[in-house]
Amino acid sequence: MERGFSSSESASSSSSPISKSGTVLAIECIRGTAKADEWSGGLLQTGDIVEEIRVGDTVLRSPFKNGKSSVQKVLHSSFKNQQTSIVVRVRRGRNEFAELQACIVPIEAWGKKHQYVLRAIDDPNYAVRFFDRTEAECLELQASRSSRLHHALSIAQFQDGYESYPWERKMQETLSIPGSSCFLSILFLPKASDRLASGYNDVEDTLARANAWLNASQASGVPIVFTNIQTESLLTKISGETASATVSTSSLSDLPNLASASLYGFEDYHGVDIGVVRSVRLWYTPIAGEYRIEIDINEADTKLGFSISRTEEGFIYIASVVERDEDAPSARSGLCDLYRDAIGASKLLIVSRINNQKVLPWIVSPSGAIRCFDTVSLSQKLSLHRHAKVPILLHVFMWDHVLASLSRGSTRQSRRPAPTLMPLPPQFQLPPHPNVNEVPPSPPELGGDVRVSSNGPELRPEIDTAGEESFRFHNFSLPDSWL
């Protein structure tokens, strides 16, 4: 922005003529600079009297016949001719002058078209327009600069801003698993208090069930820790007994009753009863992050060398691995060694993702059933990988930071690179020691010709209690029963 300021000018300059009506062409600042430099004295200010305008070869001097109206016509003509550079010289007081180099910008104001403002060349935030005022009004505005500055300070507001963000690229480049987060949670819906689901247990009951699920998971050997818990509101349509049994929110006096209610209702404009279900979301994280293990398949492979099962809490885990077969895919990938380390630490080797898809429990229904993944379909998918000779990508929960760091340089996996650790976010970094309150489970028996569910050995397959009729496979000793 080229601008000049002088405090001593010739007498002829300071005594510029005024129109017969007493009206002069004045400046009005409509938007300030990023640093509010319009109050520093070197820029044009509201109340400055225009002495001269230069647009290309055209020079206009005070007095301006027809004032603002004639100047707007000149600006319109110059803009149409693509001549947008303009220099404005103004007078402040009797013998002080300032100058602004700007460009002509069209706006639509007061419902009128062909209105133009001036924007400074080196700071587009700064904009002024021409206005018709009397010289007395201009001098009064100039004299009130200090009070106007304080007024501007009192009414200045922070404005919203928008930043375009390359989400797709960031999600590919910054996440350990492109397009998938490391945040893990499970949603607990309130338990129905009767078979007709006309009522629900209170929030405290839902919190207690979430707490019990977490404690039971840790006690069974799932290496997770609590990170956060929150309530979530879900909208649903209610009617009949359910509507009459819910807490109403028709007035402020009903609000105290909502503190522990799992379901409350209100009526919309059409008279429809809307229910708000208060569920609980439990956030957790593996103690030492997730490991990425790639299992390559060779032409000669007839089995993967491991079996999977599921805990009562819905977690998929490696139930057993083949022994004394170093050529099995599970042995080549290092999965067998990791499984033995988990058994030695009294932990389950939890599978969190298969081919980058999460296979963790995600919701608990009002009936109490945990929605999770069926072991039969998972076994079929893994076996299809073997038949198609397509590599399998597993992610497993880790329980020990020291083991996680040592695994990278372990010589026992010299045939292939060590699994890759998915680090936790900084706010979730945890000490390497396991929770002292956890109850270590007994290592599962690897021998015997029995099928074992997550609850213990049985002589028959166990039916899945999550609503799907499937079988849990665990610890088959027959060669053709392995994945």
Indicate the range of 124-128, 278-282, 325-329 predicted with least confidence: 124-128
Indicate the range of 2-11, 184-193, 344-353 predicted with least confidence: 2-11
Where does a domain end: 285, 309, 343? Answer: 285
243 and 390 belong to one structural domain: no
Q: What is the pLDDT of residue 469?
A: 33
Q: pLDDT at residue 310 above 50?
A: yes
Q: How many residues does the chain have?
A: 483
Q: pLDDT at residue 441 above 60?
A: no
Q: pLDDT at residue 385 above 90?
A: yes
CB 399 within 8 A of CB 267: no
Q: pLDDT at residue 119 above 70?
A: yes
Identify the band that residue 259 occupies on the pLDDT scale cut at 50, 70 and 90.
Answer: low
Digit-coded pLDDT (tens) for 129-179: 998 999 888 888 888 878 878 877 887 788 888 999 999 999 999 988 888
426 and 320 belong to one structural domain: yes
Identify the band that residue 3 occupies on the pLDDT scale cut at 50, 70 and 90.
Answer: very low
Q: pLDDT at residue 377 above 50?
A: yes
411 and 269 belong to one structural domain: no
230 and 135 belong to one structural domain: no
136 and 264 belong to one structural domain: no
Alpha carbons 393 and 472: distance in angstroms, whole number: 22
Of 95, 94, 120, residue with least CA distance to 6: 95
Q: How far is CA 261 from CA 202, 233, 246, in A?
A: 5, 12, 8
Query: Residue 137: CB partners within 8 Å, gap ≥ 6?
Result: 26, 47
Flag whether 160 is in a domain: no
Where does a domain end: 285, 300, 323? Answer: 285
Flag whether 162 is in a domain: no
Digit-coded pLDDT (tens) for 444-473: 333 333 233 333 333 233 333 333 333 333
Q: What is the pLDDT of residue 273?
A: 67
Q: How far is CA 394 from CA 317, 349, 358, 462, in A?
A: 11, 11, 10, 25
Flag whether 173 is in a domain: no
60 and 144 belong to one structural domain: yes
Report the CATH number at residue 352: 2.30.42.10
133 and 198 belong to one structural domain: no
Flag whether 95 is in a domain: yes
Q: Structural domain of residue 200, as residue ranges?
A: 179-285
Alpha carbons 88 and 130: distance in angstroms, whole number: 11
Q: Which tokens sit at 63?
A: 């007095």
Q: Which tokens sit at 428?
A: 């979730």
Does the model's pTM come out above 0.75?
no
CB 188 within 8 A of CB 206: yes
Digit-coded pLDDT (tens) for 178-197: 888 889 999 999 988 777 65
Digit-coded pLDDT (tens) for 354-375: 999 999 999 999 989 999 999 9
Flag whether 75 is in a domain: yes
Flag whether 377 is in a domain: yes
What percentage of the chain exceeds 70 in pLDDT?
68
36 and 82 belong to one structural domain: yes
Q: How far apart are the first and last CA of the chain?
A: 74
78 and 195 belong to one structural domain: no
The DSSP bridge pattern shows strands 247-248 and 263-267 to be: parallel
431 vs 204 pLDDT, higher one:
204
Q: pLDDT at residue 294 above 80?
A: yes
Average pLDDT over the chain reads: 77
Q: What is the pLDDT of residue 388?
A: 94
Q: Residue 269 CA to chain centroid, in angstroms?
A: 33
Indicate the range of 36-50, 301-315, 463-477 predicted with least confidence: 463-477
Backbone angles phi, psi at 427, to 5 degrees: -70, -10
260 and 385 belong to one structural domain: no
Flag whether 367 is in a domain: no
Tell me how crowded residue 383 is: count the other CB atoms within 10 A of its CB: 14
Q: What is the pLDDT of residue 417?
A: 41
Indicate the range of 46-55, 104-113, 203-212, 406-415 predicted with least confidence: 406-415
Report the number of distinct structural domains present in the chain. Answer: 3
Flag whether 460 is in a domain: yes
Where does a domain end: 267, 285, 303? Answer: 285
Digit-coded pLDDT (tens) for 223-246: 999 999 999 888 776 655 554 455
398 and 456 belong to one structural domain: yes
Q: What is the pLDDT of residue 216?
A: 97
Tokens 């522990």 locate to 260
208 and 306 belong to one structural domain: no
